[in-house]
Amino acid sequence: MDTIRRILELLGGYKWLTALSFVLAFAQMGLGLVVPRVIQLTINNALLGGRPGLLVTYGLALLGVAAVRFAVGVGRRLASGKVSLAIEYDLRNRMWAHLLRQPFAYFDRWPTGQLMSRAMSDIQNVRMFLGYGLVFFVTNIVMMAAIAVILVIMDWRLALLSLTFLPFLLLVTLRFSRRLNPILKDVQQRIADVTATAEENVVGSRIVRIFAREDDELARFSDRSYRVFEASVAAARTRAVYIPLIAFIPNLAVAFLLYYGGRQVVDGGLSLGALVAFYSYLMMLVSPARVIGWLTGLAQRAIASGERVYEILDAPLEMHEKPDARPLRGVGPAKGTTSAPETGADLSSSPLGAVDFDGVWFSYGDRPVLRGVTLSLPAGRTVALVGHTGCGKTTLTNLVPRFYDPGEGSVRVDGQDVRDLQLADLRRHIGVVTQDPFLFSTSIAENIRFGKPDASEEEVRAAARTAQADDFIEALPDAYETVVGERGFTLSGGQRQRIAIARALVMDPRILILDDATSSVDAETESRIRTALREVMRGRTTFIIAHRPSTISLAEEVVVLDRGRIEEQGSHERLMAAGGLYAQMFGDAERHGCCLDDAGDDETTDAAGAAVGGVA
C-alpha cells in the first residue's frame, strides 16, 4: 500500500490537469449512459408508437451525443497524456539526478543494465498506470455503480437477478490480482537481468570477438532470455485462466436477463424498449468488468515497477555534502609574498594544491586496500605512485577528488578536509586522466570542452596542442567537429588518451592525476607528450600512477606502495641506491620490458577511472 500511495502522490504537482482528466472522463461516461435511454425512446415511441418522424430526431440526438463524446474523449486523452508524460519526465530526471550524486562505490554494486531497466521500462509502467489505468479504473468503478442504480430504478427485481454476478466478479478479480502481482515483479527483475547482459555484450563486443566467445555469450544471453520467457508464460497462464472467467461471469447475467426479461415483455410487464435499454446497460456493465482484469494487471505492474524505482530513489546518498560546505580556498601565498611573480595576481584566496593524507584507511567491502597511509605533498610537487597490482595506487588518488571517502583518517587539500568542501568546486580544481579514457559520442571539441564548458575555441586548441593532439585532429575530415562515435572507438587508443589529456588541461587545474596517461601512444609521441607535460605540471601538484619506467622521469619524488602501505619514499636515485622493493621492480621492468606492476593497474580494474573518463 505504501508503494501505491507514493505513486499516487506523483500526481500532486499536476492537480488541475488530473482533475480535468477525471472531469472529462466522467462527462464521457455520463454521455455514454444517455445512449440506452435514447434507444429505449426510439423503440417505444418511434417504432412501436407509430411515429416514424421521431426517428430523425432520435438519430440526430444520438449523433450529437457521439460528437460531444468524441470531443470530450480527445480532451481527456490529451490531459491524461500530458500528466503521465510529465510525471515520466520528472521521475526519470529525479532518478538520474539521484544516481549522479551517488559515489563510485554505489555503481560498483549495481550493473548498468539494471539501472537502465529501472530508468526506462519501470518508469514507463508507472506512467501507463497514472496516465490511463487510474482514470479508467476509477471511472469504470463509478460507471458500474451508476449502471447498477439505473437498473434498480428501471426494474429492481430484474436488476437484483442480473447483478448477482458482481460479488463473484469482485472475488475472482481480487484473487487474480494476488496471484499475478508476484509473477509480474519477477518478470520485471528478469527483464532487468536481460538488459544488463545485453548492455555488457554491446559494450564488450570487441572483447567477445577477440576471444571468440560469441557462442558462450549467446548461450548466456539465451539463458537469461529463457528465464524471462518462463516468467512471462506463468503470467500469461494466470491471465489465460482468470481474464476469460472475469468476462464469462457477466454473460450469465445476460442469459438470465434475456430469459426473464423476455417473458415480462411477452406478459406485458415490461416494454420492448425497456428490455433493450436494460440489455444495453448490462452490456455497458460487462465492458468495465472485462477491462477490470487488464486494469488490475496494469496496476500490479505499476506497483512492482514502482517498488523497483523507489528502491533506487530511496537509496541513501553514501557521500553527503555538508550543508555548510564551502568552496576550496587557498591558504595564502608563501610568507612575504602577496602575488604571483609572473602575473602579479593576488594569491590570498587562490587554491594552491597542497595535498595531505593523514592515517588513511580504505576498504572495498571487507577487503582492506589502504592501511594507515600518511603522505604530504606540498603545492606544485610531482609524485609518482609505484607498486604491484592491488597495492592501492588508483584508490589513493580517487580519494583526492572525493570519488570515495576514507574509512578512517582524512584527506586535505590546502589544509581543508575534502569532506568539508563543496564537491563541484573541489573537482573543478582537479584534472584526471585515466589509463583507459572514456569519450562521449559527440565532437572532439565538445569532448575537450567537457572539462570546461565555457572554454573558448582557442583554449580548446591550446589544450590539444599541449597534449600533442592538434596535428591528428586537424587531419580528420571535420577537424575539431569530428564526431568520435560511441565511447570514442573510432579513434585509436593513443588518440583517445591525448584528447583526455587535453580535456583535463583545458580546466587549468591546480591538481593533476595522471594514470599513466601516455601508456597508449608510440615512443615518439610519448616523448613529445612528456616534454609538454613537464611544462604543464610546473606549479601544479601532480600524481602520476606509474606503470612504466619511462613515466617516472616526470616525477620529483617516488612513493612505493605495497599491500596498502607506503613501503618506500624518495627520489628515483635514492631509492635505486637503497636497493629495496623499488629497485627490484624497476630493474625487473627494465630487463624484461614490462610494466612496473606487471599488470596494468590496481584493485578496481579502472572501473572508477573508466567512469570518470579523464574528467575531474
Give the pLDDT band (50/70/90) at residue 103. Answer: low
Per-residue pLDDT tens digits for 435-457: 777 777 788 888 888 878 888 88
- 3-state helix vs strand vs coil in the chain, percent to 5: 65, 10, 25
Does residue 577 share a domain with residue 476? Answer: yes
Per-residue pLDDT tens digits for 228-283: 888 888 888 887 877 787 777 777 777 777 787 777 777 777 778 777 788 788 77
Per-residue pLDDT tens digits for 180-224: 777 877 887 788 778 777 777 776 666 666 556 677 778 888 888
Residue 152: inside a domain, yes or no?
yes
Closest alpha carbon to 196 in 256, 118, 271, 294? 118
Q: Which CATH number fits the domain that encloses residue 61?
A: 1.20.1560.10
Residue 345: inside a domain, yes or no?
no
Does residue 249 share a domain with residue 382? Answer: no
Does residue 199 share a domain with residue 109? Answer: yes
Q: How many domains does the chain have?
A: 2
Closest alpha carbon to 384 in 221, 506, 548, 532? 548
Helical pair 493-505 and 457-466, crossing angle rounded to 10 deg: 130
Per-residue pLDDT tens digits for 393-449: 888 888 888 888 888 888 888 888 888 888 878 888 888 887 777 777 788 888 888
Does residue 394 share a domain with residue 470? Answer: yes
Q: How far apart are CA 206 and CA 376, in angstroms?
A: 42
Does residue 150 share a domain with residue 211? Answer: yes
Amino acid at 120: M
Does residue 526 share a domain with residue 455? Answer: yes
End-to-end CA distance of the chain: 43
Closest alpha carbon to 147 in 286, 294, 5? 286
Does residue 381 share a domain with residue 238? Answer: no
pLDDT at position 407? 83
Residue 339: inside a domain, yes or no?
no
pLDDT at position 594? 55
Q: Which CATH number fits the domain that encloses residue 474?
A: 3.40.50.300
Lowest average pLDDT, out of 244-253, 344-353, 461-470, 578-587, goes to 344-353
Does residue 80 share a domain with residue 152? Answer: yes
Looking at every residue in the chain, the average pLDDT score rounds to 76
- Domain's final residue, options 261, 289, 313: 313
Instruction: Using DSSP bridges, classify how beta strands 367-377 and 430-433 pair: parallel, antiparallel or unpaired.
Output: unpaired
Determine contact, residues 537/512, Cβ cutoff 8 Å: yes
- Domain's final residue, options 259, 284, 313: 313
Residue 346: inside a domain, yes or no?
no
Residue 329: inside a domain, yes or no?
no
Q: How far apart are CA 530 and CA 508, in angstroms?
A: 17
Determine contact, residues 558/577, Cβ cutoff 8 Å: no
Does residue 398 share a domain with residue 274? Answer: no
Residue 336: inside a domain, yes or no?
no
Per-residue pLDDT tens digits for 21-59: 888 888 888 888 887 887 777 777 777 666 776 777 878
Does residue 271 share a domain with residue 167? Answer: yes
Residue 338: inside a domain, yes or no?
no
Does residue 279 share a domain with residue 367? Answer: no
Edge to edge, the sheet with strand 367-377 lists 367-377, 355-364, 408-413, 416-417
Please check the confidence at residue 374 and state whether its pLDDT lies above 70: yes
Residue 403: how many other CB atoms lie within 10 Å: 23
Q: Which domain holds residue 431?
A: 355-612
Does residue 379 share a domain with residue 240? Answer: no
Q: Report the percentage of the chain scoring pLDDT > 90.
A: 0
- Domain's final residue, options 295, 313, 331: 313
Residue 330: inside a domain, yes or no?
no
